[in-house]
Structure 1
Amino acid sequence: MTERPPAISLRGVRKEFPGGVVAVHGLDLDIADGEFVTLLGPSGSGKTTVLRMIAGFERPTSGTVSLRGRDVTAAPPFERDVHTVFQDYALFPHMSVRRNVEYPLRIAKVPRAQRRERAMEALATVRLDGMADRSPTALSGGQRQRVALARALVGRPSVLLLDEPLGALDLKLREQMQVELQQIQRAAGITFVLVTHDQDEALTLADRIVVFDAGRVEQVGPAREVYERPATPFVAGFVGTSNLLRPDAAHALLGRDGTWSVRPEKIGLTGPADDPPPDTTTAVGTVSEIVYTGATTRCLVALDAPDLAEAARLTVLLVNDGHRRQAPERGESVRLFWRPEHEIPVAAL
């Protein structure tokens, strides 16, 4: 039995712009059929350029782009079985929701009855079939986003590319649409590739996360793996918050060589005279800052380690669940503790 080729395969993909600016350096990446993958990174990291090369809007300087085993490196966008959803929904205000969704099929000269049937199927997938006759201007931002998704899905592409589609939504609506995207992807059963700089969004949505920095991939893996076991200092600092203990600090605090990461939520906090749990790493310090966020309290603790300037402060995240001691006050002496298995080695590429 022949193994099915990946939905997307990138081999040695490099993109160089005029002036010698290299946006992507020799990328190798396979994305499986039906997978939800997020390309995550700061502005200018190369993630959007990769998406545009998959879509055909940019051509690689070198390397190949294949879709289901077919080399499409030189193929124009309209010859690729992909659709792209942008942050700007680009809906036609003079058309109904259904006619907006039908539009790609109309351009493809699909018969009218079939257009209507497929448009209603796509709207049902995003749970908007009851609003087919409304104007897009009468919909909320989240509903308009779902119309844009339905329009992209109506052509039944093998790959759907999403370029920061939730960036213009407010926080509550963005969180709601993250759940909607997961459900839509499962219902459609096609490959989704999402570009975002929002770490929470990437962790929430993706089967796998590809973390970019300066045109290079820093780490690829499931969301839990990328967060719990960051491969490099960049990933540790960019995906969530991390306390990075560089060689001098790691040797003094952990008795280890190299650079190590400890996540703030893995660190416990107690009084300086209290006994910490057995078999834990400990450090004593003074609370220099307190940030209350409702569900959590973030404490910045200045360690009693004047010879370790770079590790003089650690961030601790306390959950306000009512079961732990009250958060300390600014200026209070505390003892920090964490388990050795939460000390994760990281190394620069």
Structure 2
Amino acid sequence: MIEESREVSPPAQRLAVGLRGVRKIFGDVVAVDGVDLDIRDGEFFAMLGPSGSGKTTVLRLIAGFESPTAGTIHLGGDEVSKRPPFERDVNTVFQDYALFPHMNVIANVEYGLKVKRVSKAQRRERAVEALRTVRLEGFEARKPGQLSGGQRQRVALARALVNRPKVLLLDEPLGALDQKLREEMQVELKAIQRQVGITFLFVTHDQEEALTMSDRVAVFNAGRIEQVGTPAEVYERPASAFVAGFVGTSNLIQGEAAESVLGRTGIYSVRPEKIRVDTHLNAEVPVGEHAAAGTVAEVVYAGAATRFVVDLDAGGRLIALQQNLQTSSMDVLKLRDARVRLAWRREHEFAIREDVPPGLVMDGPPTTVG
């Protein structure tokens, strides 16, 4: 049945958003530099990158708040590059929520429908349904000032959902929340997206947030996309030095250290949690593993896990992350300045592109970026 549906559905109908050769220039600044991107219908898609990487500009181009200098933007198969925002079937949720403080919750949610001249009865019915979706029944009469940060965020989400857009654009909507509430809202947002089935396009600079919530992630850097893939693909198999360093913490091994430890040239990535710390330096290295001896330069105890910074005999430095299953802070802190051997399975090291950005170029020894 799945194969049959694929045959009868042309690609344009399966895509919610399509960008082709999109560029945006502000004066002398190239904010977006030739982006090609396809976002599938019903997908929770994250655009991840540091400040100034171009992700928010791409969101604004899709929303219609900016016009592309070059390239085309498609929504549901229609080319919309020249259309104003109100003629695009999208809605945007901003970090500051942009709620009307003098209106109660139900009036805030109904506002967009009122502008569209939807009947009063239908407005109320759809607004109540939207509030039920975000689990805010009984809050209709409250003003935004009487709500918590998480509740205001859900009102903003309900106000966008009530318009039933094809694509919902979320511009770092969780940025103003504290860590605990932020984590709770990550789970809620994903559950809501699955419930309503709308395409969510989520902009964030938080790596954990992108990995937790999205079906796929696009990693932005300097106006371009470095890699697009599932969270597991982007994390486990970074395509470039930038992705390896920005998405989580990664050890990059190259130069003399790669030749000495791995027995080959090139640039390789090994995640800290894949590395095992062993105090038995002379133990036999198991088949299928690589190992490197070194000295513990620093030990960072973080409760659930400990972070070991190890200076290798081969030169350079690696970071290993070890869960504290049966150890205390005193146990692990004793390892500072100790001689250890780091070991990892060969399938956990991945070759990455050698076009390393200038800020990440390494001369010989491995280093840690992140």
Same fold by TM (over 0.5)?
yes
Amino acid at match of 1:194: F
Instruction: Show the counterpart of 2:320.
Output: 316
Superposition deviation, residue 274 in structure 1: 5.2
Instruction: Show the counterpart of 1:195.
Output: 203
C-alpha offsets along residues 99-148 of structure 1, whole Å, 9 cap, x if unaligned? 11001011111111100000001001101122112222111100100000
Moved more, 320-329 or 63-72: 320-329
| Contact in 1 for aligned 2:297/2:336 (Cα 8 Å) | yes
| Contact in 1 for aligned 2:285/2:291 (Cα 8 Å) | no
Instruction: Show the counterpart of 1:69.
Output: 77
C-alpha offsets along residues 57-94 of structure 1, whole Å, 9 cap, x if unaligned? 11111100010111100000000000000001111122
| Contact in 2 for aligned 1:276/1:282 (Cα 8 Å) | no
Structure 1 residues 95 and 53, CA gap change in structure 2 (3 angstroms): same
Amino acid at match of 1:251: E
Instruction: Show the counterpart of 2:341.
Output: 335
| Within-5 A mapping of 1:1-349 | 1-3=8-10, 4-19=13-28, 21-273=29-281, 275=283, 278-279=286-287, 280-305=289-314, 308=315, 312-322=316-326, 326-327=331-332, 328-349=334-355
Secondary structure, aligned partner of 2:200: strand
TM-score (norm 2): 0.90
Superposition deviation, residue 282 in structure 1: 0.9
| Contact in 1 for aligned 2:267/2:354 (Cα 8 Å) | no
Distance 2:170 2:284 in 1: 47
Distance 2:86 2:318 in 1: 52
Superposition deviation, residue 329 in structure 1: 2.0
Superposition deviation, residue 272 in structure 1: 3.7
| Structure 1 portions without partners, runs of 5+ | none
Superposition deviation, residue 248 in structure 1: 2.4
| Contact in 2 for aligned 1:276/1:337 (Cα 8 Å) | no
Superposition deviation, residue 277 in structure 1: 5.1
| Contact in 2 for aligned 1:272/1:284 (Cα 8 Å) | no
| Contact in 1 for aligned 2:270/2:348 (Cα 8 Å) | yes
Aligned positions, number: 343
Superposition deviation, residue 2 in structure 1: 3.7
Amino acid at match of 2:353: A
Structure 1 residues 276 and 262, CA gap change in structure 2 (3 angstroms): farther
Distance 2:325 2:200 in 1: 36
Superposition deviation, residue 323 in structure 1: 7.5
Moved more, 27-36 or 272-281: 272-281
Distance 2:127 2:285 in 1: 60
Instruction: Give me the CA root mean square deviation.
Output: 1.5
Distance 1:247 1:287 in 2: 22
C-alpha offsets along residues 238-271 of structure 1, whole Å, 9 cap, x if unaligned? 0000010023221111012210001100000111
Superposition deviation, residue 284 in structure 1: 1.0
Amino acid at match of 2:309: L
Distance 1:313 1:69 in 2: 49
Amino acid at match of 2:90: V
Superposition deviation, residue 320 in structure 1: 1.2
Moved more, 243-252 or 112-121: 243-252
| Contact in 2 for aligned 1:14/1:60 (Cα 8 Å) | yes
Superposition deviation, residue 324 in structure 1: 11
Q: Which runs of 4+ in 1 moved over 6 A?
A: none
Superposition deviation, residue 15 in structure 1: 0.9
Secondary structure, aligned partner of 1:101: helix
Superposition deviation, residue 23 in structure 1: 1.1
C-alpha offsets along residues 312-331 of structure 1, whole Å, 9 cap, x if unaligned? 21101011122799435211
Distance 1:276 1:261 in 2: 24
| Contact in 1 for aligned 2:43/2:200 (Cα 8 Å) | yes
C-alpha offsets along residues 190-237 of structure 1, whole Å, 9 cap, x if unaligned? 000011100000000110000010011100000001000001010000
Distance 1:246 1:218 in 2: 20
| Contact in 2 for aligned 1:286/1:334 (Cα 8 Å) | yes
**% of aligned pairs identical?**
63
| Structure 2 portions without partners, runs of 5+ | 1-7, 356-370
| Contact in 2 for aligned 1:270/1:276 (Cα 8 Å) | no
